[in-house]
Amino acid sequence: MHIQALVTGANGYIGNIVACAFRRPGWITDDFLARGHCRSASSTLNAIVSTTEKKNSYIPHFKNTIHLLRTLSIASSEGGVRPTNVFGRSASYYRGFFEIAAHCVRLKQLPSFPVPPNSNCHALHVDDCADAYVAIAGHPRQKNIEGQIFNMSSRRYETVKKISKAVFEEYGLAAGFNFGHQV
């Protein structure tokens, strides 16, 4: 018996890593193509993972993706998972902190953020996120998780101030920060 996972967005950064994580223990992976169908003809999906997004049309894409996931989950009686923000390998949502730090070093100015210092940020290493998907999909008591949707997250959240402090100390900009809403 083959175990099969559908990974939407498998050609992207997160999706590719997730698909590889499923293939390591022997899962067959499939991806949902832009034309609206899966590559394989199999109707049996043991896991459904969505890693796709379109920033320029986020809301319509999100609604279409949720509709797709619900339809597939009902048809296959399986659960779904959605990734959190991730970091590691060649990309990171924390990239902006490093760009601001480098800019401040060049201009010899104090860092400034247009958000409150206690704003929460959270992320999970992309490999940990992918391994979590495989662990859920391979759960020994599938009836306990059947039909559930999971959102992978870290145990704790960092704040903008905490992340800024660590990054800017590394860049030698530990003198202070400006926080708050700015135009």
Query: Is 77 found in the same domain as 44?
Result: yes
> Taking the model in full, what pTM does it have?
0.60
Q: What is the pLDDT of residues 121-145, one digit of tens each?
A: 777 778 888 888 888 888 888 788 7
Number of domain units in the chain: 2
Query: Is 62 found in the same domain as 99?
Result: no
Query: Is 165 found in the same domain as 117?
Result: yes
User: Greater confidence, 36 or 151?
Assistant: 151
Query: Is 170 found in the same domain as 140?
Result: no
pLDDT at residue 7 greater than cutoff 80: yes
Query: Is 78 found in the same domain as 39?
Result: yes
Nearest to 68 by CA among 32, 14, 95, 109: 32
Nearest to 88 by CA among 117, 131, 27: 131
Identity of the amino acid at 82 = R
Query: Is 146 found in the same domain as 161?
Result: no
Query: Is 118 found in the same domain as 130?
Result: no
pLDDT score for 90: 61
Query: Is 109 found in the same domain as 38?
Result: no
The pLDDT of 149-155, averaged and rounded, is 70
Query: Is 171 found in the same domain as 114?
Result: yes
Under the banding of pLDDT at 50, 70 and 90, the label for residue 34 is very low
Side-by-side strand order, sheet with 91-92: 91-92, 86-88, 124-125
Task: Give the residue numbers spanning the domain of 107.
Answer: 90-122+157-183
pLDDT at residue 183 greater than cutoff 50: no
Query: Is 115 found in the same domain as 58?
Result: no
pLDDT score for 143: 80
Q: What percent of the chain has pLDDT over 90?
A: 1
**Tokens standing for residue 40:** 């394989």
Burial of 158 (0-12, 13-18, 19+ CB in 10 A): middle
pLDDT score for 167: 83
Query: Is 117 found in the same domain as 162?
Result: yes
Query: Is 179 found in the same domain as 112?
Result: yes
pLDDT at residue 81 greater than cutoff 60: no
Which residues, 6 or more positions from 9, have their beta carbon under 8 angstroms from its beta carbon? 15, 31, 50, 51, 52, 53
Task: Say which CATH number the domain at 23 has.
Answer: 3.40.50.720
